[in-house]
Structures are given as structure tokens and as C-alpha cells.
Amino acid sequence: MKYVDEFRDRDHAETLAKAITATATKPWTIMEVCGGQTHSIVRFGLDELLPKTVTLVHGPGCPVCVTPVALIDQAIRLASIPRVTLCTFGDMLRVPGSRQDLFAAKAGGGDVRIIYSPLDALRLAQALPNREIVCFAVGFETTAPAFAMAVQQAQSTGIKNFSLLVAHVLVPPAMEAMLSAPGCRVQGFLAAGHVCTVMGYEEYEPLAARYRVPIVVTGFEPVDILEGVLMAVAQLEEGRAVVENQYARSVHRLGNRQAQALVAAVFAPASRAWRGIGAIPLSGLTLNLTYAKFDAALRFQKELGDCDTEGIEDSTCQSGLILQGLCKPTDCEAFGTRCTPERPLGAPMVSSEGACAAYYRYRGHAMHEK
């Protein structure tokens, strides 16, 4: 299959792995930011190909994983309102809230529907004019333009029974929070290719300069990731720290200006809590004043009034450390024992981009006993 097979080519991958081995003379720790990259690494066993000198640690780039418990609780509460239909991407359903998940809310009679695009939810709002359609807006900069477009279309076509529960987060503030934290062990980043497709990589340049850290915009296929690692290792060995673009077939320095304009027209930056990590200033999006009437948190303020604003997280779950690359899923004592996809303690075990889910699915549960 074109655009896939050439990036999964065994010979090319082995050549790159050899080049990494030849280049790395010292131990280096590199973080892949995006959960999609984490899954590729574990699914294709890329770490088997890497030399011992290069350690990959997994980053916070799983939007499902970092959505705070309090917001999941709010989504569950909204789903329990008889006149509300809650639309969500499929992988939010199993993420545990304080007491239950959206699957349980659905089984309990809530109208919860899986969508593939925010525009599906908008069409549902048109088809069901007597119901309130609330769309759980989860994601990084990648999915924000589609939600912005849905809101603009709702506005222009006069659809009033549509709103968003916004949980959008932004990547650069999270990278900066990690870099400025004491004990940060990340020496180089593979930045998330899809996020940069929308946003470009201009905004990463000050980060690379300020924290003296190489940042390589990287794709998601095995050859992409190995090439990204090679570029980062080469920079580290040469003492350089700049932004480079491995994923040039998708990403331009300035990104997709139209998509950015759409996001800027509908959303405004806001501080947001990240599950397991805590509050990060200006690390999320909220609907701006023009579109605030589409904000489900405001529209259903009364019904959400007594929803716990903190949320209750399992205290043994190490997802915060895992999402910051401070430990691996298999370092967690609950991994594969108390925490499984059937009974997850934290979101990374159930999200399709979660690091724990990747290890459980592709490495097997026995890994923990190793």
C-alpha cells in the first residue's frame, strides 16, 4: 500500500537502526511526544532495533489520557440528563471517571454515541431537533479545527441544540512544563507530526533554544520514527539544539494557516488541568466569547453544579509519571495486575494512544514479571 509500505520497509529500518548505533557514542534519552508514536514503537518493536545507548521515553501526547477526571465526570453527568445525547470519540468510553466510565453511563440508560467527526454530531443535532446534542471535544491541536468548524457551522445554520464540552489541550505548554520541572531527564524530543501538520513548528523554536534541546518533528511509521531518532541523536552528539523536520511530506514550518485561523476564530487559550500531571498555564482551549453559547459547561451549569470539580483519581496509578516520561508502564506495580484493560486504574491503560495499553497489548501482561 502506497505511503505505508515504504515506511515499514525492513531493510530501510535496519539501515537506520545501524546508523543510530554508529552515531550514538553516549547514552541519550529521547521522548516521543505523541501516543500514536508510542504505539508504533511498541507495535513494531522498534526499541528492539535500537542500541542500548538510546532510550525512548513516552510523552504526554495522548489527549484521552490527559483529560482530567473532573471533565469525564461532567461528561457522565451530561449523559445522564434525559434530554441530552452525548457524542464522543470511541476511546473515551472506557476511561475511568471518579466512580464510573461512559460505558457504564450508557448501560445505565444514558444516550452516548460514538462519532468519527464533530460534523457527525452536528448532523445528529439537525436530525434530532428536540434533543440537546453535546459533543465531548477531546484532542490536541489536531482535532481542534474540526470542532471549530462544527461550531461555526452551527452558528451560521442556526442550530441551537448543539454544544461542546471542551477538553482541548495544547502540546508546546506541556513540553515546556516538563522541561522546566526538576528531574527532567528528556534530552531530545520527537515532536508530534500530526499536531505540527496543523500548527507548523515555528512555536517550538524558542523551546529548543531556551532549553538547549533538539526537537525533531516526526511522523508515525517505523521508518519515520527511526529517522527522527537518528536526527535527534546526531544533534545531541554534535551539541546542536534546533528544530528539524523529519515529517516534511506532511508538515510545513508555518503549518495549515486556514485551520489555525479557524481555531483562533472560535477558541481562546485557557489554563487547564492535565490528568496525572496537574494544572499547566494556558495549555488548553476554551470557546471564546463569540461562541460561548455553544459551551456545554455554561449551558448545563445548573445540572453540573454539584459535580466535583476535582475528581477522584486512584492514588496508586502512576499515569502522571508515565505521561512525563519519568517511568515506564512496566515500572508501575499495578500494571497487568490491579490495572488491566478490563479494570483500568488510569486512562493510559484504555486509550488507544495510551502507553500502558500499548505495553499490555503488544508486549503481553507477563512483561511485568520479567
Mask 41-80, x = binds other proteins (CB under 8 A)? -xxxxx-xx-------------xx----------------
Q: Determine the Cα–Cα distance for residues 77 and 125; give it in Å rounded to an integer.
A: 19
Q: Determine the Cα–Cα distance for residues 306 and 161; give it in Å rounded to an integer.
A: 23
> What residues form DSSP beta bridges with 218?
192
249 touches other proteins by CB under 8 A: no
- Return the closest-CA partner of residue 192 out of 269, 274, 147, 251: 251
Q: Determine the Cα–Cα distance for residues 301 and 235; give it in Å rounded to an integer.
A: 50
109 touches other proteins by CB under 8 A: no
State the pairing for strand pair 243-245/215-218: parallel
4 touches other proteins by CB under 8 A: yes
Cβ atoms of residues 336 and 347 within 8 Å: no
Cβ atoms of residues 209 and 182 within 8 Å: no
342 touches other proteins by CB under 8 A: yes
- We find the least distance from the C-beta atom of residue 328 to other proteins, in angstroms, to be 16
- We find the least distance from the C-beta atom of residue 239 to other proteins, in angstroms, to be 31
**Residue 256 grid coordinates:** 495549515
Q: Which stretch binds other proteins (CB under 8 A): 149-157, 236-244, 331-339, 346-354?
A: 346-354
- We find the least distance from the C-beta atom of residue 10 to other proteins, in angstroms, to be 5
Distance from chain centroid for Cα 273: 14
Q: Which is nearer to other proteins, 63 or 214 (CB)?
A: 63
40 touches other proteins by CB under 8 A: no
1 touches other proteins by CB under 8 A: yes
- We find the least distance from the C-beta atom of residue 114 to other proteins, in angstroms, to be 7
**Residue 123 grid coordinates:** 448532523
Which residues are near other proteins by CB under 8 A? Answer: 1, 4, 8, 10, 13-14, 36, 42-46, 48-49, 63-64, 89-94, 114, 116, 138-140, 142-143, 194, 222, 341-342, 351-353, 360-364
